[in-house]
């Protein structure tokens, strides 16, 4: 391919990527403009899988109609409009944690769409049938999003447990979990979930010791949880139900799709279990229960479980470090 031909081919690829990007942004803007319309729902398989499939399909369809490409172009070029669209959406509407959750499925789906478009353009019986396939694929996300809640909507309760060994007795550990004085940023371990936008824990206060006592657990960004004690066994177990103050969470802290207490995700209960060890230390278990309500819980739970483990790990490290420091000072 000479220089002029190569330059023309690049322009064709850019044109295809722009078409795919425009299509994806148009559907996402529809979800923004018509939030109650079932056709434009974001937390659906129609959006998560079939939209990037349509982006890949339309991108390669436009390109192949004008010039045949290598198979690697079918597989990889659709990633460009997908990633570009994610950057635009993250800048305007979505949080990074939603983008991270969307990306693995989106890249695979866009590759499948690109490969399908390449095959159809090459082996389709007629131009009319090929054009019809493009229209069908581009309409597919909207059709599926409107229908799938009747069949795929789920509500799962999931438990996530984290464990840490602490070189301090249960009495010392207990004092560091019943109340959590303000956490300095330097006390917190690095966190991938915080990097993606989940706020840091700040403190937890306790009104009255014992069952029915109220804890106020605060996080950065105006996130507050009201926690009602329902298990109180000093130095053994501390459990509480959780009610997020969802209406007070600013949209700049957590977007609507991952807001705690929102339509798709909520944290319901948490319990500390203290296990005394023969060496005088304590094994501390932290068990959380959360609700997940999407059309693709089989995938979404991988992310919610991971976020909960990451958060619990950071809290347990704070408890461990404070308890062991207290033990050394005594």
Using CB atoms within 10 Å of the CB of residue 313, give its burial: 0 to 12 exposed, 13 to 18 middle, 19+ buried: middle
Tell me which DSSP letter residue 69 carries.
-
Q: How confident is the model at residue 250 (pLDDT cuts 50, 70, 90)?
A: low
pLDDT digits (tens, 9 = 90+) for 82-126: 999 999 998 887 888 888 999 999 999 999 999 999 999 888 777
Q: How far apart are CA 210 and CA 232, in angstroms?
A: 6
Q: What is the pTM of this model?
A: 0.85
pLDDT at site 70: 84
pLDDT > 60? residue 8: yes
Which pLDDT value is given to residue 252? 59
- Kindly state the average pLDDT of the residues 12-20: 91
Q: Which helix (H) or strand (E) holds 233?
A: strand 223-233
162, β-bridge pairs: 286
pLDDT in tens, 262-278: 888 899 999 999 999 99
Give the pLDDT confidence score for residue 203 in this predicted structure. Answer: 95
pLDDT digits (tens, 9 = 90+) for 55-68: 999 999 999 888 88
pLDDT interval class at 244 (50, 70, 90): confident
pLDDT at 249: 67
Nearest to 282 by CA among 162, 171, 160, 161: 171
Residue ranges and CATH numbers for the domains of the chain are 3-152 (no CATH), 156-329 (3.30.530.20)
Number of neighbours of residue 73 by Cβ within 10 angstroms: 20
User: Of 16-25, 31-40, 238-247, which one has max mean pLDDT?
Assistant: 16-25
CA pair distance 169, 275, nearest whole angstrom: 10
Confidence of residue 255 (pLDDT cuts 50, 70, 90): low
Summarize the confidence of residues 174-181 as an average pLDDT: 95
SS3 breakdown of the chain: % helix, strand, coil, rounded to 5? 55, 20, 25
Gyration radius (Cα) of the chain, Å: 25
Q: Which helix (H) or strand (E) holds 258?
A: none
DSSP state of 48: I
Is pLDDT of 235 > 70?
Answer: yes
């Amino acid at each position: 391919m000479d220089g002029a031909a190569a330059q023309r081919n690049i322009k064709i690829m850019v044109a295809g990527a722009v078409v795919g990007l425009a299509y994806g942004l148009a559907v996402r803007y529809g979800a923004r403009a018509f939030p109650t319309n079932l056709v434009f729902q974001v937390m659906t398989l129609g959006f998560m899988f079939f939209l990037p499939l349509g982006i890949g399909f339309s991108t390669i369809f436009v390109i192949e109609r004008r010039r045949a490409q290598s198979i690697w172009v079918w597989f990889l070029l659709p990633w460009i409009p997908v990633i570009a669209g994610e950057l635009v959406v993250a800048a305007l509407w979505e949080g990074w944690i939603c983008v991270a959750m969307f990306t693995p499925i989106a890249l695979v789906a866009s590759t499948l769409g690109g490969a399908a478009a390449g095959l159809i353009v090459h082996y389709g019986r007629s131009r009319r049938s090929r054009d019809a396939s493009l229209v069908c694929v581009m309409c597919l996300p909207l059709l599926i999003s409107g229908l799938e809640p009747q069949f795929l909507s789920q509500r799962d309760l999931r438990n996530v447990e984290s464990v840490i060994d602490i070189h301090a007795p249960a009495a010392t550990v207990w004092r560091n979990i019943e109340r959590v004085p303000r956490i300095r940023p330097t006390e917190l371990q690095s966190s991938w979930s915080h990097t993606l936008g989940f706020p840091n824990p700040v403190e937890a206060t306790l009104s009255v010791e014992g069952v029915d006592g109220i804890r106020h657990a605060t996080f950065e960004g105006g996130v507050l949880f009201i926690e009602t004690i329902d298990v109180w066994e000093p130095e053994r177990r501390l459990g509480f139900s959780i009610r997020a103050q969802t209406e007070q969470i600013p949209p700049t802290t957590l977007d609507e799709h991952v807001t705690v207490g929102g339509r798709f995700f909520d944290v319901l209960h948490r319990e500390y279990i203290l296990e005394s060890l023969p060496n005088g230390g304590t094994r501390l278990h932290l068990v959380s229960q959360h609700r997940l309500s999407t059309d693709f819980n089989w995938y979404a739970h991988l992310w919610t479980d991971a976020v909960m483990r990451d958060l619990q790990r950071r809290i347990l490290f704070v408890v461990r470090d404070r308890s062991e420091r207290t033990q050394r000072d005594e």
